[in-house]
Amino acid sequence: MNERFLRSLEDPATLGQFVRELREGIYITNARGRVLDANPALLEILGYPTLEALQAVSVADLWARPFERPRQVELLEREGTVREFEVEIVRPDGGRRTVLDTCHRVVDPETGEALFHGILVDITARKELERQLVETSRRDALTGLLNRRFLAEFAGRFESGSATWGVILVDIDGFKQVNDRLGHGAGDALLCAVARFLGEQVRREDHVVRFGGDEFLVLLVGRSAGATAEVAARVRRAEGLAVRLSAGWARREGEETLERTVGRADAALLAVRAAERGARQEDPSGLSA
């Protein structure tokens, strides 16, 4: 037996066994994007049962976003190597994996053909954990609604463009009295009930945010002024809730910031509260419309 077996990476048998046992995917492809060889870990990551099955497809067919592939090829041609290039791949069963691709360009001295030697590291679990941590940081622990951090992210993404939105600010009438009379457990249950109610009033692409305390913000993406007013009216009716809700709304004007729209909705809410207080003083029986 070769005296260097298992002791030197220069020994072909040792290197071959090492590659076969790695949990990271090792591959060799040509410039046309065909896989010439791969270790078992790469087949598992990509979801192909055999090397022959993988060789029947092009590397570009594996990418969830094929339009990103030319950028990697350009880097390889210019730099000769690419390190930890993040790629989302699609498996034959429709599942997706996120991998880091590190590869370098070599030239076959006999044929002059360009080849690419690379290694794929599957970071799908890590990316999912990161997504969960980010999502948790954007959610209110009690109601599960989005929080102010989400609003900051939304503003950062869309304020510079021509996006339109409507904003409804909502608060719960008499919430403090509920807490004082029935306890904080009842108050928490009421907040969760209102959160569910507001979620039922909007579309999937809209957003409900716990703004703070007993205040909520409804962000209606791309809605007209009429549609925003209609949702605000439904919120004020609060059908099915045991409490009354006050609501004020505004729609984005021009290229104003989200904060500015929220400020105008807040002013509208203050006006609604003042009008409601005035109505109650004029009709202490509570029988006014």
pLDDT at 287 over 50: no
Domain with CATH 3.30.450.20 in the chain: 12-128
Residue 91's nearest CA partner among 26, 30, 144, 43 is 43
pLDDT at 179 over 90: no
Looking at residues 214-232, what average pLDDT do you find? 95
pLDDT at 285 over 90: no
pLDDT at 281 over 70: no
Q: How confident is the model at residue 63 (pLDDT cuts 50, 70, 90)?
A: very high
Looking at residues 231-239, what average pLDDT do you find? 94
CA distance 140 to 185: 16
Please write the tens of the pLDDT for every residue from 90-138. Answer: 999 999 999 999 999 999 999 999 999 999 999 999 999 888 888 888 8
pLDDT at 12: 81
pLDDT at 284: 53
Angular region, 226: left φ>0, alpha ψ -120 to 50, beta rest: alpha
Domain with CATH 3.30.70.270 in the chain: 138-282
Mean pLDDT, all residues of the chain: 90
Q: Is 42:36 a contact under the CB 8 Å cutoff?
A: no
pLDDT at 283: 60
Q: Which CATH class is domain 138-282?
A: alpha beta
The set of catalytic residues is: 214
Question: Could you tell me what percent of the chain has a pLDDT over 70?
Answer: 94
Looking at residues 142-156, what average pLDDT do you find? 93
Looking at residues 70-86, what average pLDDT do you find? 91
CATH 3.30.450.20 is held by the domain 12-128: yes
DSSP 194: H
Question: Could you tell me what percent of the chain has a pLDDT over 90?
Answer: 68
Q: How confident is the model at residue 151 (pLDDT cuts 50, 70, 90)?
A: very high
> For the whole model, what pTM was predicted?
0.62
Looking at residues 263-278, what average pLDDT do you find? 89
pLDDT at 280: 61
Looking at residues 208-222, what average pLDDT do you find? 95
CA distance 214 to 52: 61
- Distances in Å between the Cα of 164 and the Cα atoms of 138, 230, 269 are 22, 17, 20
